[in-house]
Amino acid sequence: MSIQNDIPLIVLAERLAICRLPVDSPYPDWARPGEMLAFLQTRAELTVVCAERFVPPETRAERGWRILMVQGPLDFSLVGMLASITTPLARAGVSVFTLSTFDTDYILVRDEALTRAVEALVQSGFLVINHVRLSS
């Protein structure tokens, strides 16, 4: 069995922003849970991924991202999941931003590239389920 035939991808409805804050910033009050809320802090920066609608206009952010969620949970021994998704996207010229949780992987693509991304994934054998909103 191939990964493509076994594990569907779900396109979530919410538009996200990927924000860059100074490393010494506190976690911002405006970042609220939606379909995704993620904080990643390194020695150089604080990245916040959240619903675009919550991000103040003056915040340094890349707006207009959509989520392709790998239906999980995924076993930690699974090899090649992200490669099987990102390879056809790269061939289609689709830029990605990826995040993983304990249970699954999330591939973010620009809203304007979503149709091209879905077409590339379907042509590669993935089942893609569109526009599903997770419960809050």
Structural domain containing residue 22: 3-132
Of residues 93 and 34, more confidently modeled: 93
What's the predicted TM-score (pTM) here? 0.86
How many separate domains does the chain show? 1
With both helix axes pointing from N to C terminus, report the angle between 81-91 and 114-123 in degrees, rounded to the nearest 10.
120
Query: Where residue 111 sits, what CATH number does that domain have?
Result: 3.30.2130.10
Residue tagged 């010494």 (tokens): 24
Say yes or no to pLDDT of 5 above 90.
no
Distance between CA atoms of residues 16 and 116, nearest Å: 18
Q: What is the mean pLDDT of the chain?
A: 89
Distance between CA atoms of residues 135 and 132, nearest Å: 10
Residue ranges of the alpha helices (H) in 74-134? 81-91, 114-123
Beta strands in the chain (DSSP E): 9-12, 16-21, 38-41, 46-51, 61-70, 96-100, 105-110, 128-132
Distances (CA, A) of 16 to 52, 60, 111: 5, 13, 9
The type of residue at 38 is: A
The type of residue at 19 is: C
The pLDDT tens digits of the residues spanning 44-87 come to 999 999 999 999 999 999 999 999 988 777 777 777 788 999 99
List residues bridging with 102 in a β-sheet: none
Q: Three-state SS for 23? A: coil
pLDDT at 135: 42
**Share of residues in the chain with pLDDT > 70 (%):** 92
Say yes or no to pLDDT of 22 above 90.
yes
